[in-house]
Structures are given as structure tokens and as C-alpha cells.
Chain A
Amino acid sequence: MTGTLLAGLADPTLDSQRLFRAALEALSRPGRIVTLPDTLPDGPPAPLMPATAALALALFDYETPVWLDEVANTPAVCDWLRFHCGCPLVTDKAAADFAIIAGALPDLSDFPVGSDAFPDRSATLLVQVAGLEAGGDLRLSGPGIDGDISITIKGLPDTLPTLWEANQSLFPCGLDLLLTAGSMLLGLPRTTRIDRRKE
């Protein structure tokens, strides 16, 4: 590790709190795009986006094994996560509590989805996407949403509704997603239904 290591949160206590509240807002009100506060003095290590990196600092620690996809798995990211979070980095998806997905969506079936008795023992995936916009062709409904809400997610496969249906059918087991784009965040808990709006 040389002088290239980027700084962590400027204020570890209050910044973590703000970031967590944003994550809580996103997961408890799916479909609402939350903008995270600017908390990284040096910016995120490439190829992480500001939102992804900030959430990692707020949520990861030595208790949470983290899986990185091929794109995110760079020495800079690994060193940064190890130094600031102290989290174990694992190569086995089944061992991960969190995952950072910066490239194409991998096969989701290997991540832990919990068990009927302990559905909370499931992975939370931080997925970087090209863009998030309010309004659009994806209609979300379920707990946390008053009626339904439309959004656009850029950079995820068109098969997302089908993929997500498979995840939903596991309920109460399942994966929870935090989608990031720049400093924006969208929560997709396992309870959210996704339909493609038919014109």
C-alpha cells in the first residue's frame, strides 16, 4: 500500500449515520431515488461509484464477508475496503453477506438467500447501474410504496422483471438489492414487485 490509498469518511460517526439513513430510506421506500450526501473527501476508488463506496464504508466491517465481481475486484478497491472496513473479501458467492457488482449482472442463484427459519441470513447486493430516473417503463409495487411507482433503471438486462420474479418466489427468503448510479441510490427489497409497463 503506497500513498495512493484514498481517504475514508471525513466524519466516520455522523457520515455513517447519514448514509445509513439514506439506505434505510431507500429500502423502506423502494422506487424513491435517494441522493447520498457527499462524504468521500478523495472520491471513491475506481471503478466504484461514490454511492457504492460510501455505502460500503457505512455498512461493511469485519463481520461481513464481501464478494466483488470481476470489474470491482481491483487492487485499489481491495486495499481500500480492507483498510477502511476490515471486511473479509471472499471468492465464494455463497459465503458473502454483501456483494459489489460493477459489471454485468452475474448469476444470482449462488448468493445466499437465507432459510425459512432465518431469511435474514441472505446477501445484500450493491449493484452499479448506468442510470436511475424517476418515471419510465418499470412499475414497482409492494410494501413501502403507496400504490405503485414508475422508474427507469439503465444498464440492467431487460430480463430484470423475470429475474426478479424468481427472487420474489423465494419469499421470505431472497436477495435484497441496493442499486447505485453516481451518488444516487434505489432500494429493491425482496418484497418489491416489478412489472414492465405495457404501452
Chain B
Amino acid sequence: MSTQLPTQIPTGGYNFAYLDEQTKRMIRRAILKAVAIPGYQVPFGSREMPLPYGWGTGGIQVTAAIIGPEDTLKVIDQGADDTTNAVNIRSFFQKTTGVATTEKTREASLIQTRHRIPETALSEGQIMVYQVPIPEPLRWLEPREGETRKMHGLAEYGVMQVKLYEDIAHYGHISTAYDYPVRVNGRYIMSPSPIPKFDNPKMDNSPALQLFGAGREKRIYAIPPYTSVKSLDFEDHPFEIETWDGACAICGATDSYLDEIVTDDTGGRIFVCSDTDYCGERVEAGHKGADDEEKAA
């Protein structure tokens, strides 16, 4: 059956969105089951992609299976639109689908992300696609797939609580700072991918659909919109996100996740928003950085 792509869609000689139709159907069926069982990792036949495992092949396959000509795509890597991984994945989809791309969170219908959730609140109709390296939250505690599968099946998650408890016994607090495990819809324990725990609360009851793809590990999972996502904790050690004393050096934000940037070889450093779009929007709105304000004073 020949595909009749409208001539205005340039796809670089490949099928629309690179993958063949049978592969897309297989991934789509996996995504539908993932949505029906929130937090459960659906195995799928992950394909070789034109970049190595570990560079977002799972996220790319999920995006390729869902993207259409009407979509506007945003790709971020640790919050930034202009880093290697983000730039290359964005240009991959520009080449193979011709879809519109944007750096604005608000304008995107589809956001593929590596390790961050945008600071700007997501809205209904948006879809987040996360790149996931290790989808199994229990993997570091139990290396055998057969066992972890059984533990998920029986909701036998005591070992994870013990791990968090041991953190408290050793350090006085839960030391996990990223890929902090969550419980989805009161049932499955799920890896939120290596986002900072700062982003975990954004997953809870989000109006957007969240899809997760792990290419090397061949798993797809999902959180439907308006679904409860609770970070694991204890009554006397409730879940807490990171806080900073400082503000972003560029836009002065105190409510966003900050990256530390080394500026010279004599120990100079600044803190800036990890979400470049959020930072840029604030600067456009006239906000000044912490450094600028000091100079002005």
C-alpha cells in the first residue's frame, strides 16, 4: 500500500516520522494499554533508531508514533531547548515530519523531554513524552526482571520503603534527589525518569497526558491526565522538594529549578534557571537577574 503524503510534507525520503507503519501501530497499541493501566510498564518491540540507546530512543519512538502534521513540537534536554540532545531530536522530527516546532511551552502540543518538566504549568491537550533510561524503579533493589514483575503484580513494594527508611537511618533524610519513586493512582510504583524531585509534584493531577518511553529497556508507560501521582515518603518524613537561597542570575526567579554554571577557572559561579523558555519569558516581561539588581543597587 503506497503512502500518499501531501507533497508539502518533506520527510527526508523516510516514511512520515521515520518509523514504518507496522511499528507505529505496535507502539500505538502499547501506548493505549499503558494509558489504561497507569504506571504499569508495557513491553514493546523497541526498534533500532539512528542514534544510540541512551540518547532518547524510547522517547523518540513514542513521539514518532503519536506525532501528526497538526502538532507543534517542543524538545527539551534538562530544561533547555538549545542543548545537543534537544536540538538534534527537534531537527530529526523537522526532517522526517515537517511539523512546526517551538521553544515556547505554551505553544507546544507535544513536548519531548529529557529529565525536566517545564516550569510553565501544562494545559489540557498537551502531551509530555519523557525519555527514560531505566524504567524499573525496583531495578537497583532487585536485579531480576521476573522478580520485579512479580513484585509489581502483587503490589509488594516493602523493599522500596525499606530503601527510603535506610536513607533516613544513614543520613537523616531521604537522599534520592532525582528519579524519585512515585505511586500512580494508588497502585503502581513508577520511575518518573531522572527528573529532579523538584518536578515530582507537577506530575500529580496534571491536565496533560504523560507518556514515558524507554528504548533500550523496551518499555512504555503512562500517566493519564488528572491522575494521582504521590511521591513515596513517611508520615514523620514527608516528601520535600529542593529549595534555594539564591535567585536566577538572569531573570531573578526564586521559584524555578536552578542550574549551577561555572563561569571561570577561579571559582566563579552563577545559578540560572534550568528551564530556558521560562527564564526567557521572565526576562522579556522585564524581570532582572540577581546580579543586575546588585549592580543597580
Chain A interfacial positions (CB closer than 8 Å to B): 8, 10-14, 16-18, 20-21, 23-24, 27-29, 58-59, 61, 63-64, 97, 115-120, 122, 124, 143-146, 171-172, 176, 189-191
Name 30 interchain pairs, CB-CB below 8 A, sorted by A. A8-B1, A10-B4, A14-B16, A14-B68, A16-B25, A17-B68, A20-B28, A21-B68, A23-B32, A24-B28, A24-B31, A24-B32, A24-B35, A29-B224, A58-B28, A61-B22, A116-B150, A118-B43, A120-B30, A143-B224, A143-B225, A144-B35, A146-B225, A171-B187, A172-B37, A172-B187, A176-B32, A189-B37, A191-B36, A191-B224
Interface hub of A27, A61, A97 (most chain B Cβ within 10 A): A27
Task: For residue A149, give the distance in angstroms from its CB to the closest CB of chain B.
Answer: 10
Q: Binary interface profile of B, 218-252, with partner A (CB < 8 Å = 1, else 0)? A: 00001111110000000000000000000000000
When chains A and B are docked, how far (Å) is the Cα of A40 from the Cα of B158? 52
Q: Is the interface of B mostly helix, strand, loop or mixed?
A: mixed
When chains A and B are docked, how far (Å) is the Cα of A98 from the Cα of B212? 24
Chain A hits for B154, CB < 8 A:
116
Are A12's CB and B3's CB within 8 A? yes
Are B207's CB and A24's CB within 8 A? no
- Assuming the A-B contacts A28-B225, A61-B25, A145-B226, are A13 and B16 also in contact, with contact meaning beta carbons closer than 8 angstroms in the complex? yes
Are A14's CB and B25's CB within 8 A? no
Are A119's CB and B37's CB within 8 A? yes
Chain A hits for B222, CB < 8 A:
28
Are A190's CB and B153's CB within 8 A? no
Q: Binary interface profile of B, 49-82, with partner A (CB < 8 Å = 1, else 0)? A: 0000000000000000111110000000000000
When chains A and B are docked, how far (Å) is the Cα of A124 from the Cα of B6? 32
Q: Binary interface profile of B, 143-156, with partner A (CB < 8 Å = 1, else 0)? A: 00000011011100
- Tell which of A11, A16, A61, A145 touches B4, judged by Cβ atoms closer than 8 Å: A11
- Tell which of A18, A28, A61, A122 touches B209, judged by Cβ atoms closer than 8 Å: A28
Are B227's CB and A144's CB within 8 A? yes
Task: For residue B1, give the distance in angstroms from its CB to the closest CB of chain A.
Answer: 6
- Tell me if B258 counts as interface (CB < 8 A to partner A): no
Are B153's CB and A116's CB within 8 A? yes
When chains A and B are docked, how far (Å) is the Cα of A171 from the Cα of B207? 24
When chains A and B are docked, how far (Å) is the Cα of A4 from the Cα of B65? 32
When chains A and B are docked, how far (Å) is the Cα of A17 from the Cα of B5? 12
Task: For residue A52, give the distance in angstroms from its CB to the closest CB of chain B.
Answer: 16
Are A12's CB and B37's CB within 8 A? no
- Tell me if B29 counts as interface (CB < 8 A to partner A): yes
When chains A and B are docked, how far (Å) is the Cα of A143 from the Cα of B223? 8
- Assuming the A-B contacts A21-B66, A59-B28, are A120 and B1 also in contact, with contact meaning beta carbons closer than 8 angstroms in the complex? no
Are B40's CB and A27's CB within 8 A? no
- Tell me if B15 counts as interface (CB < 8 A to partner A): yes
Task: For residue A24, give the distance in angstroms from its CB to the closest CB of chain B.
Answer: 7
Are B21's CB and A13's CB within 8 A? yes
Listed from nearest, the 5 A-B pairs whose CB atoms lie closest are: A116-B153, A189-B36, A144-B224, A143-B227, A120-B33
Chain B hits for A64, CB < 8 A:
29
- Tell me if B24 counts as interface (CB < 8 A to partner A): yes
- Tell me if B42 counts as interface (CB < 8 A to partner A): yes
Task: For residue B62, give the distance in angstroms from its CB to the closest CB of chain A.
Answer: 11
Are A27's CB and B21's CB within 8 A? no
Are A27's CB and B36's CB within 8 A? yes
Looking across the interface, which residue of chain A has its beta carbon closest to that of B187? A172
Task: For residue A18, give the distance in angstroms from its CB to the closest CB of chain B.
Answer: 6
